[in-house]
Amino acid sequence: MVKSLVSRVWLPVLASFTYLFLYLPIIVLIFLSFNASDFPFKWDGFTLKWYASLLHEPELFIALKNSLLVALTSVALSLVMGLLFVYCGWQYRLYRFMPAFLAAVALPEIVLAVGLLSFFSFFSVPLGLTTLIVGHTLLGLSFVIPIIRTQFLELDYSLTEASLDLGASEAQTFFKIILPLLSPALVAGGLLVFILSLDDFLISFFCSGPTSQTLSLYIFGMIRLGVSPTINALSTMLLAISSLLVIAFCSLNISNRGL
Amino acid sequence: MIGIRLEGITKYYNGELIINNLNLTIEEGKFFALLGPSGCGKTTILRMIAGFENVDAGKIYLGDEDITHVPAYGRPIKTVFQNYALFPHMNVFDNVAYGLRIKKMSADMIEQKVLRILKAVDLEAQVNKYIQQLSGGQQQRVALARAIINEPDVLLLDEPLAALDLNLRERMLLELIDLQEKFKTTFIYVTHDQAEALTVADRMAIMNYDGEIEQVGTPKEIYEFPASSFVAQFVGSTNSIKGYISIPQNEQAVLNVAALGEIVITLPKEKRWARDGNHAVLSLRPEKIEISKKPLEGFANHFTGVVESIVYQGRWTQYKVRLKNDMRLQVFEQNEEHFPQEEIDYYDEVHLYWQKENAVLLEK
Amino acid sequence: MQLFNTLKKQASFIAAVPALIWQILFLYVPLLFLLSASFFKRWPVFNVYDLTFTNIAAVITTAHFKIIGWSLIQAMTIATACLLVGYPVAYFFAVKMRRWKNFFLFFLMLPFWTNFLVQAYAWFFVLERNGLLNRFLLSLGIIREPLQILYSPFAVILVMFYCYLPFMILPLYGVLEKFDLRLIEASLDLGATSSKTFFKITLPLTMSGIRNGFLLVMVPAFGEYAIPAIMGGGRYLYVGSLISNYFLESRDPAVGSSFTTVSGCVILFIVLIISRVMASPKQIQKQER
């Protein structure tokens, strides 16, 4: 292929700058989380005290627990309902209704959040973790269903027929053949919804009650109070945990690809 | 050993009638081939026998049992799919063992049977490999093993060799014949390749574009005595010569061909259309024509022409000869000798001969 | 046997439907609520006779449309910037760095996996008066006094660009990875220049990724609340902040619903236009069985 100046010089340069751009603030953040000084740009020595102070924040742990609970439940609900919709719904041509799931992505999340708020308040539903789960699952479905459907379309239908031909019932075929072959989509979708839910701010902001603090709201609250090294420590920890999760996920993927 | 009987099978697809009142009996324990052009419905028939397609009208019998409404997993009929349909997330052993595991056979039994059948198809060494690591021919044999290990009453093969190259295909065809003879299972083999069908079949059926069965018989019957022009042209090549029948009193029946003359023919017995004055078509296979630059004796039919094209094809040479009525006849001459006694070249004048028994008179 | 089969079919249908019911119940019904609440005087909706247009009238003002317009322009700017940066980067990794692409993509996406509030927060240390950027510019002598970047529209746009860039890169990467490079070779072989090839072949065939990325950035950016709140110091009014204000602070949900409805309609309209403009070239799709 013709190697022009663009591809030789400019593209790599742009890519490098993008990397730099993406990592710069984060590196600064990590750096400062170990800074003993109260003031950001006066380096006073290495310390872990800000991390230690995190352990003394009970609200943080409550928020974390809530976020995890909501995230895992939303993932489970989205995956199960999404899978059933794609798989069982195929014979009834329910995929014609797939555009209905687009609205959750075609509208800004704040519209969804406010709509849910109106809905819940009209029916006097108390706002709490349950209402959060409802909202996150709503978002989750919009992401999970296209992902599962794409993988489902790539499934070789003759594999289902082969399984039936060899004597397996429809249920057995589903669990032994379809499910394993759809698992990449399920894992990808599940991970996506998990992160979406953990990260979610707007729906939590509008639809969580006074007792249901989530991680995003906690962080937002802290930031609103101003810059503090504790936030730096928390941020670095979150970064580390997410990175580990993603590394674990990717290595799972790679070992699967070895097949 | 059980055979299949199709009675009055009718099938619609998207409102269109693709199979109309089809009847077919497939004998037990034989290798049966269903031959037809792509899209004629032969795969649909196979899938109906397997249980993947519903029958709109008619019945399917397995022996004496009506299996028309039995779902696929309840039929003792196994399929070898065209694209093999091997499970990508399982290795060879698990793929082959799949049907047995569903039947909840003991693990020891399964291991025994799987290894035995893998040995029979020469795949012992690949037992733990995943299918993506196998070649096309190996995958094909896994698909075969996976189906046969369940000892089905009938084995369906849907163009199983389509993805293989020629040499491998020829080898696999012979292997399939061996397997069928060994297991004595009823094989039903669907293909659009007439050479394959002729090779493997004990009996075969030809389907035309409209989903109808034109002829059922042994390969030899079908090749040498085609029932219609379609069969004559689809199975092998032939020269179709149109003319009208003339049966003068006490003399040889002939086919009168415009601007050419009279061809001495053998009249088919008991055919109402084979009457004096009726139009008919003569199917004359290219290998039945003798081509020579020198005149020969002893043939009922003799015509002269000019060689228009010569195609050397290894085993034989194909000639196209233009007769005096501008009709072109295809002639196959087997390349028996390295240095043939006479060399036929472009634009040579040649003599064509054939015996009247070696051509078949057809209605249309 | 027949009864069992029909029961099985029913069970199948019942299993498939909850996802749809969920969408209808928790998305479309609430949207209907919003729409209807725009027309009612009191909150929550009680009486049909309370119908009024004052709520709608209250939001169809120049001030409101200025806010909507400004948020829209900002969202499109950010989306365009993400596209201009994201496409070459995605192209570079998907097409040029074939062997290491997963590796590099992984590291590119790593910041994406953190909470976006954390991402935004990190920018404080770069943008503040004592921050990295100012120190850098000062040390190079480009400026003489530290710039006030934080709490300005520029900060908001920059941080949103930062947070949304991965949303653009991912779909683009997905489309570019599947792109058949032989098409480029064929085009060059037939005499087209590199740039002609790009505009006639690559661009149209990757249009679906471009459109998805663009919408994935533009739509959330339009209704963004948190980042303007943090980075803009709450001083500039965007659609997100105004809606939040109506519902949570000034407690005027009726007018809030109207405004949300109007904003929602505007963005939907824009989405439709963009989907039309950035349509993939017509291709015959595989038949559904």
> So what's the pLDDT on residue A191?
85
A51/A232 Cα distance (integer angstroms)? 9
Collapsing DSSP to helix, strand or coil, A38 comes out as coil
| Percentage helix, strand, coil for chain B under 3-state DSSP, each rounded to 5 | 25, 35, 40
Answer whether C72's CB lies under 8 Å from C262's CB: no
Q: Which of A15, A199, A185, A241 is CA-nearest to residue C108?
A: A15
> Tens digit of pLDDT for each residue in B337-357?
888 888 889 999 999 999 989
ipTM of the complex: 0.84
- Structural domains in chain A, sorted by start: 55-257 (1.10.3720.10)
The dihedral formed by the CA atoms of B212, B218, B224 and B227, expressed in degrees to the nearest 10: -30
Strand partners, B16: B13
Does the pLDDT of residue B109 top 80, yes or no?
yes
Residue of A45 and A63 predicted with greater confidence:
A63
Give me the percent of chain A exceeding a pLDDT of 90: 29
**Which residues are CB-contacts of C104 (< 8 A; sequence separation ≥ 6)?**
A15, C93, C97
> So what's the pLDDT on residue C41?
62
B102–A161 C-beta distance less than 8 A: no
Q: What's the alpha-carbon Rg for chain C, to the nearest Å?
A: 24
CATH T-level topology, domain B237-362: OB fold (Dihydrolipoamide Acetyltransferase, E2P) (2.40.50)
> So what's the pLDDT on residue C47?
47
> Tens digit of pLDDT for each residue in B21-59?
999 999 999 999 999 999 899 999 999 999 999 999 999
Answer whether A135's CB lies under 8 Å from C26's CB: yes
Match domain B4-233 to its CATH number in 3.40.50.2300, 3.40.50.300, 1.10.20.60, 3.10.129.10: 3.40.50.300
> So what's the pLDDT on residue A259?
33
> So what's the pLDDT on residue A5?
66
A159–B73 C-beta distance less than 8 A: no
Nearest residue, CB atoms, B73 vs list A159, A168, A176: A168
Does the pLDDT of residue A255 top 70, yes or no?
no
Mutant choice from A98, A110, A119 vs C, greatest count of C C-beta within 10 A = A110
> Tens digit of pLDDT for each residue in B190-236?
999 999 999 999 999 999 999 899 999 999 999 999 999 999 999 99
Does the pLDDT of residue B12 top 50, yes or no?
yes
A89–C17 C-beta distance less than 8 A: yes
Nearest residue, CB atoms, B150 vs list A166, A176, A177: A166
> So what's the pLDDT on residue A137?
94
Q: C136 to chain A, minimum CA–CA distance in Å? A: 13
Chain A residues lying within 8 Å of C94, measured CB to CB:
none
Chain A residues lying within 8 Å of B117, measured CB to CB:
none
Does the pLDDT of residue A256 top 90, yes or no?
no
> So what's the pLDDT on residue A98?
85
Q: Which of B92, B162, B78 is CA-nearest to residue B125?
A: B92
- Structural domains in chain C, sorted by start: 34-277 (1.10.3720.10)
Cα maximum dimension of chain C = 87
A56/A222 Cα distance (integer angstroms)? 15
Answer whether B26's CB lies under 8 Å from B217's CB: no
Chain B residues lying within 8 Å of A164, measured CB to CB:
51-52, 71-73
Chain A residues lying within 8 Å of B130, measured CB to CB:
259
Answer whether B37's CB lies under 8 Å from B201's CB: no
Chain A residues lying within 8 Å of C130, measured CB to CB:
40-41
Does the pLDDT of residue B108 top 90, yes or no?
yes
Does the pLDDT of residue A228 top 80, yes or no?
no
Q: A57 to chain C, minimum CA–CA distance in Å? A: 18
Helices (H), chain B: 42-50, 92-102, 107-120, 136-148, 166-183, 194-200, 219-224, 229-234
Calculate the alpha carbon distances from C41 to A53, B68, C29, C32, C51 in Å: 50, 66, 19, 16, 6
| Percentage helix, strand, coil for chain C under 3-state DSSP, each rounded to 5 | 75, 0, 25
> So what's the pLDDT on residue A148?
92
C269/C289 Cα distance (integer angstroms)? 33
Domain extents for chain B?
4-233, 237-362
pLDDT band at residue A42 using 50, 70 and 90 as cut-offs = low
Nearest residue, CB atoms, A115 vs list C19, C31, C244: C31
Average the pLDDT over B281-297 and give the result: 92
Average the pLDDT over B92-121 and give the result: 92
Q: A259 to chain B, minimum CA–CA distance in Å? A: 7
Nearest residue, CB atoms, A259 vs list B77, B99, B132: B132
> So what's the pLDDT on residue B128?
92
Q: B112 to chain A, minimum CA–CA distance in Å? A: 19
**Is B311 in CB contact (< 8 Å) with chain A?**
no
> So what's the pLDDT on residue A70?
94
Average the pLDDT over A103-123 and give the result: 88
A166–B51 C-beta distance less than 8 A: no
Helices (H), C60-206: 62-91, 101-109, 116-122, 124-127, 132-139, 153-177, 181-189, 194-197, 203-205
Average the pLDDT over B168-190 and give the result: 91
| Percentage helix, strand, coil for chain A under 3-state DSSP, each rounded to 5 | 80, 0, 20
Q: Distance from CA of residue A20 to its chain's centroid?
A: 24
Answer whether A225's CB lies under 8 Å from A59's CB: no
> So what's the pLDDT on residue B329?
94
| Mean pLDDT for chain A overall | 85
Both tokens assigned to A56: 């003394």
Does the pLDDT of residue A25 top 60, yes or no?
yes
Per-residue pLDDT of chain C (289 residues; tens, 9 = 90+): 566 667 777 888 888 889 889 988 999 988 888 888 777 665 555 444 566 677 777 777 888 888 899 999 999 999 999 999 999 999 888 877 777 777 787 788 788 778 888 888 888 888 887 777 888 888 888 777 777 778 888 889 999 999 999 889 989 988 988 888 888 888 888 877 888 888 888 888 899 899 999 999 999 999 999 998 888 776 678 899 888 888 888 777 778 888 898 899 999 999 999 999 888 877 655 554 4
B130–A167 C-beta distance less than 8 A: no
* Cis-peptide into C44, omega within 30 deg: yes
C241/C250 Cα distance (integer angstroms)? 12
Chain C residues lying within 8 Å of A145, measured CB to CB:
19
A158–B81 C-beta distance less than 8 A: yes
> So what's the pLDDT on residue C44?
54
